[in-house]
Amino acid sequence: MAYLLQVDFTMDGPFGVEMAEGLQNLARSINDEEGFIWKIWTEDATAKQASGVYLFDSKESAEKYLTMHSARLTSFGITNIRGKIFEVNETLSTINHGPIQK
């Protein structure tokens, strides 16, 4: 069973190309997290918000990552961090072309 983790927070930047250039090492390191399958990075520079949507192979892996990532974001001075974990309904997600991979 797959679990989706949604994390969002407010921040002053960087966004766009600067974010992509500055966070490449962080992005690569996420690939090594236990149970990690994929991540979608999102941002809204106007609203000063960023988020990530992740897929993990277990609830425990998603919870562990959320705890670690929240601490990391806090160490960057980011506050107002919100994280939610959802069980993925793989049958319905597959009908709608959801990228459910393990």
Q: What is the model's pLDDT at position 79?
A: 87
How many H helices and E strands in the chain? 4, 4
Antiparallel, parallel or unpaired: β 49-56 and 3-10: antiparallel
Its pTM stands at 0.89
Burial class (CB in 10 A: 0-12, 13-18, 19+), 39: middle
**If you count them, how many residues does the chain have?**
102
What is the CB-side half-sphere exposure of residue 69 using CA atoms within 13 A?
A: 25
Q: What is the model's pLDDT at position 99?
A: 84
Q: What is the model's pLDDT at position 98?
A: 86
Show pLDDT as tens, one digit a residue, over the chain (102 residues). 899 999 999 998 899 999 999 989 999 999 999 999 999 999 999 999 999 999 999 999 999 999 999 999 999 899 899 999 999 998 898 888 888 765
Q: What are phi and psi of 3, to 5 degrees?
A: -130, 130
